[in-house]
Structure formats: structure tokens, C-alpha cells
Structure 1
């Protein structure tokens, strides 16, 4: 265990309460990541997720925009938001990932939980507190860690409820101190790079519209040739491939979280035809949209999570 970190930590330690098909779910994952296994493209979840870097200098992409992170920052990710973390070269980067899922009408107290979960909807949902407040907030996570190590919570339901109660205190501490957030995003590259990230964010925000290389080049006052070259250079993807990846990920989220007709989902995500949607979906997920939906047994619960 490394006591120099802001949080108590043991590599590959986890705290698990239920699973994501059950109404109340927690998964604390203490682990390491390397530059060599950086995720290629952004992904999303049907549950809430919190990422706390325990090593410096990670970059987290949220809806196509990179945000620089420091040790002890708290990244809050609501369901279905696209994101990925990029870790630097060198020693492994330690981090804590907390995934959790609250059903609608949890304990019959929906109105009580909504203010706590509102912190996930901030324009920039990354919290960097002054040292004293950060210590108070992260101490609660340490209390959960210590409690889980000293108690057989898997065998005793009431102890799992205690962990849930402590986590609510953690969310409350963030909510009560959100006006003291010091986070500002460092500039990521030059102005040309920033423009490409602006275009990526525009794609995430307007994926349901008609988007093309020429239309985006006109909108952002660039030549099509320049945009095509720079977009691939900065993101690693061609612009058209990037648009398709955003759309297909959004479509999968809707497929699993709603009962909407598949054809309507394809249309709402900007696909020009159902055959195009079906082809790209199969290429991406190695199964048809209908097969993925039929294999899922949690549509109702997933929908409740998104609505909450």
C-alpha cells in the first residue's frame, strides 16, 4: 500500500455491492492503467461513474474535449456521456473508478437524491477543491475503504447499507462545496488543435443533424482539405469515422435504455438509412441491433437510471 497518495490504495482491490442488473449497485475499482492500453475511442455507461486519478497528469476526454487532470481531482460522469482517459508514458497511473447505479424512486426518496446527483450535470463536471476541503471529501472515500477491509460486508446486508450511507455523505460533501471548485482546464495544444476539439464537441452536440466534411469546414471557416488532415492528425480518426462512432454509440445507449423502435433510434441518431445503421452497428458490435436488445434483460432498469 502506498501511503503517499491522497487516497488509501491497494492495487486491484475492489468493493462490489450487487451488480449492474440489480436496482442498487456499487463498484469501487482501485487499479492501474498504462499509455499502452489507452482506450482508442470514447465509451459510455448506463450508470453513473466517478474517476479519481491517484497519479498526476492524466487527460480525460468528455464529449470530444480533453481536460487535464491532477491527482485528487474528482471527475463526475452521468449515464450515457462519452468519455475516455488518456494516460501518459512512463510508470503506471493509479486511479479509483467508482461506478454506481440508483434506480428511480430509490427507497421512495427520489426528490432527496436529485440534488445530490445534480453535481454530475455541471458544465464541467470536474472538481478540484482547496486542500482542506479535498481532504475532507476524500476522507469519506478512505472511510469506505477501511470499513470494507475490516468488515465482511458481503455477508451482512446492513453493512452494505452503511457503505451506501457513507457514499451519500461523499456526494453531499461535493454538493455542499461545489461553489469552491478551483478547476480550470489547461490549454490543450495550439489554436489549430483547439479548433479541432471545438469541432469534435460540435459533433457530439449535433450528431443527429446532417454532418459532412464540407458542411463542417464551411461552418468553422476552414478548407475541407485542411479540416480532413488536421482532424485525423489531432483525433486519430477521419472526420466521417468519428461522426459514425459518436452516432453508433448514442444509438446503442438508446437501444439499451429505451423501448423506442430501432428504426426511430437510427433516424434520431443521424443515420440516413436503416441499412446504413444496421451495417455500421454490426461492424462495431459484431451483432445486429435487435440481437443486442433481445439479449439485454435490463431495459426497464436502464431506462429508470437515465431518467433519474
Structure 2
């Protein structure tokens, strides 16, 4: 299985990365990736499909994707009308602020998307206009590197997040309905089954049998639609859960490995390092971003 961990190279004191108005093609699109940072993808134009967690979404102008850390995702641009998008990557520590006497976090929109397993927001005209302007300003700050550029980018990021939080809290909530069905029903059912039974002993044979299709057909379409083979996808799901447990519990590594479906501790260590980019112990020791 090829590694899917995406390293994000940025100065530790400024954990932010930005790709402005990039037109994606199948040759230039990133492989399926998994990272700890939060990600926002805003679509300026073009078409495509975005696979996030367990759901397929259409990509078109005005779509905003909110992807919390440790969420499997892969974009597939249309061959004839490829997507042009802007991607922002950041560590949550960049937008930490004092509560100032009110219950607010800039990450509320990501918390909402994770809780509801809904990762696409269709922007209102007002949010679209504001988004386009702020993205332009971020690009200018990073290109010109004027005094205080990093502070300016941090403030602009907070401005974007506040706008999205407010959109979700008011009329924009109606624009976050579940994505329309994409792909065959058996594929969508298989993804839901994996999501609920990732720790069980499941594989291609059982999944294809449940879907009433041949293993070869299941494997081919699964790879085509998600960008990953079945074994790699299940392993990634297990590692995502293991990372959550490492930070949220004091359970031993052996117990976490067993509860996530790994038959042996050495196998868990090998896969964790390959997918997450480091050892379980190192991941647990790192400072919490929140």
C-alpha cells in the first residue's frame, strides 16, 4: 500500500499553506491524502467530484469544502472542464484566541461538518463575494511579503472562518443538505458498511458478496471512485480512529491497536508510521492543537 500521509511544509511558527486558483487535472491532482491540518477548498469554476470520508460530492463554482484534520479525501477533476480552486491548509493553533466572554471558536464550522458528516457548503452570493476578495488579499500578502504579512494572513483567515461560521448559523444552514447520490447504490452502501465495521475482519470478498458484484468489478470501481484500493482504505480508516484514541484516551497502544482491528502490534506500528508519518508514541506526545 502506498503512503497517503501528506506532509505540509511550513515554518513551525506559521503553520499555514496556500494554493491559489490552481486548475487541477487528473495528471496534476494530488493523490488521496490524509493530514492533521484543517483544509478549506473553494471552487472558482469547472467541474469535478470530491470524495470525502464516505461521501461523493459534486464540485462546481461556489462550492466550499470544510475538511477537518484526519479526514480521508481525494478530488477528481472533470477531464473536459477541470476544477479551478483555492486550497487553504492550517494548523488549528493558528486561529486559537481567548474566548473573550462568549462561546465562540473559529473552528465551529469544522466541528459542525465533522459532527454531521457533511463537508460541503454551497456559498451564498454574499459569502462568495467575500471569499473571493479575502483569498485575493491572502495571495497578495504572501506574494509581496510586506511587514506583518503573516499577521495579516492570520487575520484574513480568521475573517474567512468567522464568515463561514455565521453563514452556517443563519440562512446558509439550508445549503448544507446531504449530497445527491453519486455512483451505484451498492458502492455507497459498502462505504457506510466499512465506516461502521472498519475494526472487523472485512475485506474485498465479503464486501463484493454483500454488493452482489464480482470482486474484480468491486475492486476496479472502488479504486476508480475513491482513489484507493479496499485494503488501503480500511487501513486508513483504522489509523484515523487510532489517532483519535491516542489523543482522547490514556489507553495503551496495544489496546488501541486491537480495538481498531489490528491483529498484531508490529503490523499496527508499521502501518501507523506509513500512513501517519510517525510512530504512535510520537503522535501521542505532540502538543494538542486545541
Q: Could you say whether these structures have the same fold, taking a TM-score greater than 0.5 normalized by the shorter chain as the test?
A: yes
Alignment of 1:45-84 (within 5 A): 45-84=35-74
> Structure 2: how far apart are the matches of 1:234 and 1:55?
27
| 3-state SS, counterpart of residue 232 of structure 1 | helix
Indicate whether 1:174 and 2:164 are aligned: no
Q: Give CA-to-partner distance per residue, 1:30-58, whole Å, 9 cap, x none.
A: 13322024445x32221211011233211
Task: Provide the TM-score with structure 2 as the length reference.
Answer: 0.73
> Structure 2: how far apart are the matches of 1:214 and 1:208?
16
Q: Give CA-to-partner distance per residue, 1:174-211, whole Å, 9 cap, x none.
A: 3344324166634323xxx2211321232134312332
> Structure 2: how far apart are the matches of 1:136 and 1:160?
15
Does the Cα contact within 8 Å between 2:95 and 2:158 map onto a contact in 1?
no
Q: Which structure has the bigger radius of gyration? A: 1
Number of residue pairs the alignment of both structures matches? 273
> Structure 2: how far apart are the matches of 1:132 and 1:162?
19
Does the Cα contact within 8 Å between 1:46 and 1:257 map onto a contact in 2?
no
Q: Give CA-to-partner distance per residue, 1:92-118, whole Å, 9 cap, x none.
A: 642211112223993332942054543
Task: Tell me what 1:244 maps to.
Answer: 235
- Which deviates further from its counterpart, 173-182 or 54-63? 173-182
> Structure 1: how far apart are the matches of 2:131 and 2:28?
30
Task: Tell me what 1:134 maps to.
Answer: 128
Distance 1:209 1:167, change over 3 A: same
Alignment of 1:1-308 (within 5 A): 19=10, 21-22=12-13, 25-30=15-20, 31-40=22-31, 42-90=32-80, 93-103=83-93, 106-109=96-99, 111-113=103-105, 115-121=108-114, 122-146=116-140, 152-153=146-147, 155=148, 159-160=152-153, 162-176=155-169, 177-181=171-175, 185-189=179-183, 193-213=184-204, 215-216=206-207, 220=210, 222-223=211-212, 226-236=213-223, 239-248=230-239, 250-251=241-242, 261-278=252-269, 280=271, 284=274, 290=279, 293-294=281-282, 299-301=285-287, 304-305=288-289, 308=290
Does the Cα contact within 8 Å between 1:141 and 1:170 map onto a contact in 2?
no
Tell me the CA shift for residue 274 of structure 1.
1.9
| 3-state SS, counterpart of residue 97 of structure 2 | helix
Distance 1:47 1:259, change over 3 A: farther
> Structure 1: how far apart are the matches of 2:94 and 2:159?
20
> Structure 1: how far apart are the matches of 2:247 and 2:176?
36
Tell me the CA shift for residue 126 of structure 1.
0.5
**Structure 1 gaps, min length 5:** 1-15
Instruction: Kindly report the root-mean-square deviation, in angstroms, between the aligned alpha carbons of the 2 structures.
Output: 3.9
Task: Provide the TM-score with structure 1 as the length reference.
Answer: 0.69
**Structure 2 gaps, min length 5:** 1-7
Does the Cα contact within 8 Å between 2:142 and 2:149 map onto a contact in 1?
no
Does the Cα contact within 8 Å between 1:130 and 1:182 map onto a contact in 2?
no
Q: Give CA-to-partner distance per residue, 1:185-243, whole Å, 9 cap, x none.
A: 34323xxx22113212321343123324565467x4x45xx252332121126544542
